[in-house]
């Protein structure tokens, strides 16, 4: 049974969105294409738009939060241009006509030219002031498109790593809506490796030790307390959980890439790989 | 020629000196719909520092009783691409769609609109549940249009038959990719549709020309290497590239390629041009291999 969303994973940081079922090697995995609302005292920012299929869910969750008194949505920050992260931006900018799109805004003027005047470029270290806290663009250690930024909430020290910390969870075990530490039956190294195999082709070819070391440095430098990945369950115990995810990334790097090579009948719920 | 396939429009030019719009790569069989955009540091597929112009390519494969559109282009070009298709096929002709990258706007941005406008009989993807991946809100009824659109899942190694005469289009998993990507091979025109590979030629001017022939093939190995490392293949240096090289070589061994038709940038046309770029790519991969280079952390904005 899915747990109640929106879920406040840190004070003023709300997890919204829905799962995407995935089939891999005879097992069904669930992954997230999550969005997060970060509420300051004067404004809110939506981090990621959710998957295009999820807009009705995202819209309902946002309406619920604004009805509770969360400050208005003034900003949208998307980590990068893959549509599971940003595909809802046209609908968000239409639904919230005062909202400004921020980040590396490459390509969006080509996809949604009608909103070009509402796009603002951010460089590393640039921050959006929400009142009492800011959302800052930070180094995207694990990325695919070169135009990726990760987000960082300076108030509660929450990292929004986009494609970083991407792993599935077990729907049958009731993991939907849980944070990583609550999903006790989740084999984090295994599901991290599965996701890397399906969607992060390059991790099979790069020196993942170097990327994991850089990840540690970033987490240390920023003093990260919570990690809010787009595809994985949120991490609330960084010291205990991050090593398990890194173990999965390193293990996946050693296994030859397989991707989906299944026949159409078994592709029913497979992710795009 | 069938009554359902339109004669090539007057603005469909031969490949020589082509400057944008519709390029007839094989009259009555294959057309490139090329729409330019500026390289101004705001395009994810190109190095941030490069300036000039490139084109987003969609390809229309036509038979007397069916057509297929490979990639649907950016939203900014939707009215133009729609008109380009209308000028090439008769109203009501069954049209299939095949976006080669399920996660990128350049491939999928206009699926929703085209599904509502043309007689789309199916959309080929790697994921049978993909219809709502294309729901960008372009139309008020977009979701219902997409929900009623037939989606046909293809595997890594399939062959699609286009039209009743069964024009064979081979589907393959891209042997090198960043994200979900398929390549296609059209046996009838000996064209390889390479999505985000072989995308390394762009121009200083919006007028192009957008087709590279032996007469204007100026790309150097250094240009190609820099392009790869400064775009989506930033992770290649020090990688075990032998498996990638084998994968690409297999494609060119199996397919008799006269034209490489990338998802963006100049089309590579002619056997000599194709052979030169494939060899150049292989040499670069060889030079990037872990046996001679070191894999290290690469910063987001590092250009090489």
* pLDDT for the residue numbered A24: 65
B73, B137, B244: best to mutate for the A interface, most A CBs within 10 A: B137
Judging contacts by C-beta atoms under 8 Å, the chain B residues touching residue A125 are none
Inter-chain Cβ pairs, chain A and chain B, closer than 8 A:
157
CA B229/CA B298 separation, integer angstroms: 10
**How far apart are alpha carbons B238 and A207 in whole angstroms?**
8
**3-state DSSP assignment of residue A229:** coil
Q: What is the pLDDT of residue B159?
A: 96
DSSP run (H or E) holding A37: strand A35-39
Nearest to A270 among B37, B44, B127 (CB): B127
Confidence (pLDDT) at A87 = 94
Nearest to B274, CA basis, from B284, B262, B288:
B262
What tokens does B203 get? 């121009």
| pLDDT at position A88 over 80 | yes
pLDDT for A262 equals: 39
Contacts of A259 in chain B (CB under 8 A): 156, 173
From CA B212, how far away is CA B18, in angstroms rounded? Answer: 10
Strand order through the sheet with A134-138: A127-129, A134-138, A150-153, A158-160, A226-227
Long-range contacts of A54-63 (CB under 8 A, 24+ apart): A54/A17, A54/A18, A54/A88, A55/A88, A55/A91, A55/B135, A55/B137, A57/A16, A57/A17, A57/A18, A58/A16, A58/A17, A58/A88, A58/A92, A59/A91, A59/A95, A61/A5, A61/A6, A61/A14, A61/A16, A61/A17, A62/A16, A62/A37
As its CATH architecture, domain A7-259 has: 4-Layer Sandwich (3.60)
Structure tokens at B122: 């199916």
Q: Which residue has the higher pLDDT, A20 or B253?
A: B253
| Structure confidence at residue A25 (pLDDT) | 65
pLDDT in tens, chain B (304 residues): 343 445 445 455 544 445 559 999 999 999 999 999 999 999 999 999 999 999 999 999 999 999 999 999 999 999 999 999 999 999 999 999 999 999 999 999 999 999 999 999 999 998 888 899 999 998 889 999 999 999 999 988 899 999 999 999 999 999 999 988 999 999 999 999 999 999 999 999 999 999 999 999 999 999 999 999 999 999 999 999 999 999 999 999 999 999 999 999 999 999 999 999 999 999 999 999 999 999 999 999 999 9
Model confidence pTM above 0.80: yes
d(CA B264, CA B203): 12
CATH at residue B233: 3.60.15.10
B301 within domain boundaries: no
Choose the closest CB to A259 out of B44, B48, B173: B173
Q: Does pLDDT of A134 surpass 70? A: yes
Q: Is B236 within 8 Å of chain A by CB?
A: yes
Q: What is the pLDDT of residue B276?
A: 98
Q: Residue B217 — left, alpha, or beta (φ > 0 → left; ψ -120 to 50 → alpha)?
A: beta
Is it the case that residue A113 has pLDDT exceeding 80? Answer: yes
* CA separation for the pair B155, B303 (Å, rounded): 35
Is residue A266 predicted with pLDDT exceeding 60?
no
Q: Is residue B198 part of a domain?
A: yes
Number of domains in chain B: 1
Residue B128, chain A, CB below 8 Å: the answer is yes
Contact A207 B238 (CB under 8 A): yes
pLDDT for the residue numbered A23: 65
Question: What pLDDT does B7 receive?
Answer: 46
Q: Which of B182, B201, B179 is nearest to B251 (CA)?
A: B182
The distance in angstroms from the start CA to the end CA of chain A is 28
Chain A: residue nearest B302 by CA?
A146
Confirm whether B294 is domain-assigned.
no
Q: Which of A232, A261, A270 is nearest to A21 (CA)?
A: A270
Cβ neighbours of A82 in B, within 8 Å = 103-104, 179
Q: Residue A106, Cβ neighbours under 10 Å: how many?
A: 22
Longest CA span, chain B: 59
B240 vs A contacts (CB less than 8 Å)? 205
Question: What is the C-alpha to C-alpha distance for residues B209 and B18, in angstroms, rounded to an integer?
Answer: 5
Task: Find residue A135's DSSP bridge partners.
Answer: A128, A153
Which H/E stretch holds residue A15?
Answer: strand A13-16
Show the CA angle centred on residue B42, arms to residues B40 and B43, nearest 5°. Answer: 100
Domain interval for residue B79: 12-288
Q: Residue B10: what pLDDT?
A: 46
> Is the preceding peptide bond at B14 cis, omega within 30 degrees of 0?
no
Q: What is the DSSP string of B52-108?
A: EEEEEEEEEEE-SS-EEEE----GGGHHHHHHHHHHHB-TT--EEEE-S-TT-HHHH
Q: What is the mean pLDDT of chain A?
A: 90
In the predicted structure, residue A28 carries a pLDDT above the cut 90: no
Confidence of residue A252 (pLDDT cuts 50, 70, 90): confident
Residue A31 has pLDDT above 60, yes or no: yes
**pLDDT (tens digit, 9 = 90+) per residue, A200-221?**
889 999 999 999 999 999 999 9
pLDDT of residue B53: 97
């Amino acid at each position: 049974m899915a747990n109640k969303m929106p879920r406040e994973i840190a004070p003023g940081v709300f997890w919204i969105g829905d799962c995407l079922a995935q089939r891999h090697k005879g097992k069904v995995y669930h992954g997230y294409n999550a969005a997060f609302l970060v509420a300051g005292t004067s404004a809110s920012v939506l981090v990621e738009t959710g998957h295009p299929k999820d807009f009705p869910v995202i819209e309902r969750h946002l309406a619920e939060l604004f009805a509770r008194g969360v400050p208005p949505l003034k900003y949208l920050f998307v980590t990068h241009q893959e549509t599971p992260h940003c595909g809802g931006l046209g609908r968000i900018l239409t639904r919230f006509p005062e909202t400004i799109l921020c980040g590396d805004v490459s390509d969006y003027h080509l996809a949604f030219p009608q909103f070009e005047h509402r796009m603002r470029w951010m460089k590393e270290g640039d921050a959006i002031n929400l009142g009492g806290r800011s959302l800052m663009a930070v180094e995207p250690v694990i990325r695919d498109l070169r135009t990726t930024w990760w987000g960082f909430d300076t108030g509660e020290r929450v990292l929004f790593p986009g494609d970083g910390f991407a792993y599935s969870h077990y729907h049958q075990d009731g993991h939907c809506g849980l944070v990583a530490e609550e999903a006790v039956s989740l084999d984090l190294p295994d599901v991290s490796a599965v996701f890397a195999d399906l969607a992060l082709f390059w991790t099979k070819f790069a020196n993942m030790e170097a990327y994991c070391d850089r990840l540690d440095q970033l987490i240390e430098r920023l003093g990260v307390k919570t990690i809010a990945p787009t595809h994985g369950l949120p991490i609330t115990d960084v010291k205990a959980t991050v090593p398990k995810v890194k173990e999965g990334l390193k293990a996946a790097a050693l296994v030859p890439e397989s991707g989906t090579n299944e026949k159409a009948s078994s592709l029913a719920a497979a992710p795009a790989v | 020629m069938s009554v359902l396939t339109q004669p090539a429009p007057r603005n469909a030019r031969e490949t020589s000196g082509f400057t944008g719009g519709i390029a007839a790569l094989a009259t009555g069989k294959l057309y490139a719909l090329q729409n330019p955009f500026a390289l101004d540091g705001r395009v994810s597929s190109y190095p941030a520092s490069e300036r000039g112009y490139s084109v987003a390519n969609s390809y229309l494969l036509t038979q007397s009783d069916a057509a297929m559109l490979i990639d649907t282009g950016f939203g900014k070009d939707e009215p133009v691409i729609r008109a380009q298709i209308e000028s090439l096929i008769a109203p009501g002709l069954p049209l299939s769609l095949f976006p080669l990258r399920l996660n990128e706007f350049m491939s999928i941005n206009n699926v929703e609109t085209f599904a509502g406008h043309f007689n789309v009989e199916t959309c080929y993807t790697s994921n049978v549940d993909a219809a709502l991946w294309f729901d960008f809100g372009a139309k008020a009824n977009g979701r219902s249009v997409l929900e009623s659109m037939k989606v046909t899942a293809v595997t890594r190694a399939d062959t699609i038959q286009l039209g009743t005469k069964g024009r064979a289009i081979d589907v393959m998993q891209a042997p090198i990719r960043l994200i979900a990507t398929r390549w296609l091979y059209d046996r009838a025109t000996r064209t390889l549709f390479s999505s985000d590979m072989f995308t390394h030629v762009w121009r200083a001017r919006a007028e192009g020309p957008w087709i590279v022939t032996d007469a204007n093939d100026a790309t150097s190995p250094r240009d190609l290497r820099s392009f790869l490392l400064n775009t989506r293949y930033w992770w290649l240096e020090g990688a075990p590239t032998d498996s990638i090289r084998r994968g690409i070589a297999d494609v060119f061994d199996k397919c008799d390629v006269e034209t490489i038709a990338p998802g963006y940038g100049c089309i590579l046309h002619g056997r000599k041009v194709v052979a030169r770029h494939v060899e150049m790519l292989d040499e670069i991969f060889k030079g990037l291999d872990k046996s001679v280079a070191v894999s290290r952390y690469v910063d987001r904005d590092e250009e090489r």
